[in-house]
């Protein structure tokens, strides 16, 4: 994919603020600090399009990035901060659900996990949500530069088991730092958009 333009189009706190048009959207979900912003920035070849890592209590928003005027990447608020209040967690869940359930533009969700660790219960829940709304759920196992390539398959198995993923081809090891498998992630995105 040749990136001609990428820009932050809208920051939404609720669904009345979503862009109104027919562009396809691919959303990115994941735990805070997992490397979601770095993945988005690497995909579009920018250093700082997506916000980088949040601090606890940062505003929870859904960010819409317009790519080439053709489609959008949607950055969902990260989850899993131990320090956030119950009210914030509930707001988060409501926001995500409102987006996943009703957004007609949404065609796929990428779940970002850390390749080094077994996914957590929040990741498992997120993956279940993704599947229950009828998406494939592509799992990007990021920070793959932090382990040797020889360990990738073993870690993929751990991820596959925890998330109960049927097809392990939907788990893509990736590194933003070393740009590993960038082509493969783009290929998956292109396949989704072309359908
Ligand atoms: P987010 O909260 O999920 O958006 O996470 P960020 O993209 O801000 O990344 C969190 C931290 O992980 C930052 O310090 C990044 O530099 C680091 N990071 C993200 N992706 C990678 C990666 O592929 N490899 C390595 N080594 N570090 C990464």
Distance CA 118, CA 73 (A): 26
**What ipTM does the predicted assembly reach?**
0.99
Q: What is the pLDDT of residue 54?
A: 53
Please indicate whether residue 9, judged by its CB atom, sits closer than 6 Å to ligand 1: no
Q: What is the pLDDT of residue 195?
A: 65
Strands 138-142 and 171-173: parallel
This prediction has a pTM of 0.95
Q: What ligand 1 atom has the least distance to the C-alpha of 174?
A: 23
Look up residue 35 and give its two tokens. Answer: 């490397």
- Mutational test site, ligand 1, from 32, 34, 38, 143, max ligand atoms within 8 Å of CB: 38
Calculate how far, in angstroms, residue 16's C-alpha sits from the geometric centre of ligand 1.
31
> Which tens digit of pLDDT belongs to each residue from 52-61?
655 544 668 9
> Which tens digit of pLDDT belongs to each residue from 144-169?
999 999 999 999 999 999 999 999 99
Q: What ligand 1 atom has the least distance to the C-alpha of 53?
A: 8
Q: What ligand 1 atom has the least distance to the C-alpha of 144?
A: 23
Q: Tell me the percentage of the chain whose pLDDT exceeds 90.
A: 82
Please indicate whether residue 34, judged by its CB atom, sits closer than 6 Å to ligand 1: yes
Q: What is the pLDDT of residue 1?
A: 87
Domains of the chain: 6-194 (3.40.50.300)
Q: Is the pLDDT of residue 23 over 60?
A: yes
The better pLDDT of the pair 80, 63 is held by 63
Calculate how far, in angstroms, residue 21's C-alpha sits from the geometric centre of ligand 1.
31
Point out the least confidently predicted range of 38-47, 61-70, 74-83, 127-136. Answer: 74-83
Please indicate whether residue 49, judged by its CB atom, sits closer than 6 Å to ligand 1: no
Q: Is the pLDDT of residue 31 over 90?
A: yes
Q: Which pLDDT band, with edges at 50, 70 and 90, does 84 fall under?
A: confident
Calculate how far, in angstroms, residue 45's C-alpha sits from the geometric centre of ligand 1.
15
**Mean pLDDT, residues 61-67 taken together:** 96
Please indicate whether residue 137, judged by its CB atom, sits closer than 6 Å to ligand 1: no
Please indicate whether residue 176, judged by its CB atom, sits closer than 6 Å to ligand 1: yes
Mean pLDDT of the chain: 93
> Which tens digit of pLDDT belongs to each residue from 130-148?
999 999 999 999 999 999 9
Q: What is the pLDDT of residue 81?
A: 73
């Amino acid at each position: 994919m040749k990136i001609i333009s990428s820009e932050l189009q809208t920051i939404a706190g609720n669904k009345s603020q979503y862009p109104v048009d027919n562009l396809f959207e691919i959303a990115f979900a994941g735990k805070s600090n997992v490397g979601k912003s770095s993945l988005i920035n690497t995909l579009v070849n920018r250093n700082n399009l997506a916000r980088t890592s949040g601090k606890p209590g940062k505003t929870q928003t859904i960010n819409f990035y317009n790519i080439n005027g053709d489609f959008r990447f949607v950055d969902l608020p990260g989850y899993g901060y131990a320090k956030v209040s119950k009210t914030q967690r509930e707001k988060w869940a409501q926001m995500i659900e409102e987006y996943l359930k009703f957004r007609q533009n949404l065609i796929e969700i990428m779940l970002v996990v850390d390749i080094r660790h077994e996914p957590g219960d929040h990741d498992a829940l997120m993956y279940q949500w993704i599947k229950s709304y009828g998406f494939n759920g592509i799992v990007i196992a990021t920070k793959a530069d932090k382990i040797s390539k020889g360990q990738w398959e073993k870690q993929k198995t751990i991820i596959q088991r925890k998330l109960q993923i049927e097809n392990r081809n939907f788990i893509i090891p990736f590194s933003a730092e070393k740009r590993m498998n960038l082509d493969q992630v783009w290929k998956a995105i292109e396949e989704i958009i072309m359908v």
